[in-house]
Amino acid sequence: MSVFENLETLKSEALLQINAASDLSTLNDKRVEYLGKKGPITDVMKQMKDLSNEDKPKLGAAVNIVKSAIEDAIEAKKVELEAAEIGAKLAKETIDVTLPATKRTKGSRHILTQTREEIEDIFIGMGYSVENGYEIESDNYNFERMNLPKNHPARDMQDTFYITPETLFRTHTSPVQARVMEKHDFTKGALKMIAPGKVYRRDTDDATHSHQFMQIEGLVIDKGIAMSDLKGTLDHLIKKMFGAEREIRLRPSFFPFTEPSVEVDISCFACGGEGCRVCKHTGWIEILGGGMVHPKVLEMSGIDPETYTGFAFGIGVERVAMLRFGINDIRGFYQNDVRFTNQFK
Ligand code: DAH
């Protein structure tokens, strides 16, 4: 057999084997086998020296053609095998969308947080700022500056946890009033703020009392602020929170930091005012306290009561949530029982 014939046999054999390769690694072995330095093509080239001068270049050309035929075949097979490999991988990774999904439980904010934020939004909508005070407060801000001097009998209703004789857990959010008033620059406009936060009392916990609860303080001071502004503001708040049909009623009351002071009732949302169990057959439900800021309170914070007047109020956040959702035990808010909290998603 001539060397040319050998070359042809070699070519057909190589192409057959390349086509038969079932994976990329076998294909690579074939590349080394046929095109490598120790392969059959090198052997063929070694026989060149035995050929006539006329045949030598012919063999060179024939070898080149065979080489590129093998290279082309390898390249084509490689593309084919790679595509098959991707196809197999995709088929293996197919997701069965009919399988039942793992159920993810979704958290939500606590009902007290939701209630606080809802009230905040109502006041932000009326141009109020939201202020922060301190849960650990001085006797001065918590009591004195709120017109509750030492030994004032009204302090009895707000006993609390003392850290030192002058430092205590605040009993209400009212001290934030003093902290904001003393800093306020009236050349920049009226003072309109709310201050939400936790407060503390020495109380025995039961269905309606807790040693820790939440309040939202409100304060507006400007020239010419009147009781009607307080009433209009609270009316707006109550209608937003409890429905447009709700009415409010102001009753005279007493707080050392307001004069006059009022207790605010809303018409009963359960019976519409007819009288029922929820409103203890009065048609009204007590909801918050407020009044016109006492001139002494203004004065102590450096505001001239002859020029400026204002109103203030304090809302119990738990009380609002309890009324709205018919919650009958305040302790539910703090026990983190999911059977309670899950009802308010
Ligand atoms: N600080 C009062 C309390 O905790 C609530 C309150 C009543 C706040 C009247 C006020 C107000 O600002 O004007 O019982």
| Same-domain status, 53 and 136 | no
Separation between Cα atoms, residue 192 and residue 151, nearest integer Å:
31
Residues 228 and 88 in one domain: no
pTM exceeds 0.75 for this model? no
Which pLDDT score, from 0 to 100, does residue 1 have? Answer: 67
If asked whether residues 235 and 274 sit together in one domain, one would say yes
Give the Å distance between the CA of 314 and the centre of ligand 1.
4
* Number of domains within the chain: 2
Q: Is residue 221 part of a domain?
A: yes
187-226: per-residue pLDDT in tens? 999 999 999 999 999 988 899 899 999 999 999 999 999 9
Do 129 and 24 lie in a common domain?
A: no
**Do the domain assignments include residue 105?**
no
Question: Does residue 181 belong to any structural domain of this protein?
Answer: yes
Give the model's pLDDT for residue 185: 97
- Asked whether residue 325 is assigned to any structural domain, the reply reads yes
What CATH number does residue 238 fall under?
A: 3.30.930.10
Closest CA to 308 of 294, 287, 320, 322: 294
Give me ligand 1 centre to Cα 206, in Å.
22
**Which atom of ligand 1 is the closest one to the Cα of 215?**
4
* CB of 258 sitting under 6 A from ligand 1: yes
pLDDT score recorded for residue 5: 86
Q: Which atom of ligand 1 is nearest to the CA of 217?
A: 12
Please check whether residues 70 and 139 belong to one and the same domain. Answer: no
DSSP secondary structure letter of residue 273: T
Residue 80 alpha carbon to ligand 1 centre in Å: 81
The answer on 178 and 246 residing in a single domain is: yes
Question: Packing angle between helix 111-124 and helix 227-242, nearest 10 degrees?
Answer: 130
Q: What region, left, alpha or beta, does residue 275 occupy, with left being phi > 0 and alpha being psi -120 to 50 degrees?
A: left
Instruction: Encode the chain (345 residues) as per-residue pLDDT tens digits.
Output: 688 888 889 899 999 999 999 999 999 999 999 988 888 888 888 888 888 888 888 888 989 999 999 999 999 999 999 999 899 888 888 888 888 888 888 888 999 999 999 999 999 999 999 999 999 999 999 999 999 999 999 999 999 999 999 999 999 999 999 999 999 999 999 999 999 999 999 988 899 899 999 999 999 999 999 999 999 999 999 999 999 999 999 999 999 999 999 999 999 988 888 999 888 999 999 999 999 999 999 999 999 999 999 999 999 999 999 999 999 999 999 999 999 999 998
Contact present, 130 and 176 (Cβ < 8 Å): no
**Do residues 84 and 129 share a domain?**
no
198 and 59 in a single domain? The answer is no
Q: Whose CA is nearest to atom 12 of ligand 1?
A: 313
Q: State whether 172 and 253 are in the same domain.
A: yes
Which of 58, 92, 126 is the endpoint of a domain?
92
- The answer to the question of residue 158 being in a domain is yes
Give the tens place of pLDDT for each residue, 77-115. 999 999 998 998 888 888 888 888 888 888 889 999 999
Q: Is residue 320 part of a domain?
A: yes
Measured from the CB, is residue 131 less than 6 Å from ligand 1? no
**Boundary-marking domain end, from 92, 120, 145:** 92
The Cα 28–Cα 10 span in angstroms is: 18
Burial class (CB in 10 A: 0-12, 13-18, 19+), 108: exposed
213 lines ligand 1 (CB under 6 A): no
Closest Cα to residue 289, out of 256, 316, 314, 318?
Answer: 314
- Last residue of one domain, picked from the residues 36, 63, 92: 92
Is 97 inside a domain boundary? no
Strand ranges in the chain using DSSP code E only, listed in sequence order:
129-130, 136-138, 162-164, 167-169, 191-200, 212-222, 248-255, 258-267, 284-293, 309-316
Q: Which domain holds residue 49?
A: 3-92
Whether residues 130 and 236 share a domain: the answer is: yes
Residue 61 lies in a domain: yes
Ligand 1 pocket, residue 147 CB under 6 Å? no
Which tens digit of pLDDT belongs to each residue from 253-272?
999 999 999 999 999 988 88
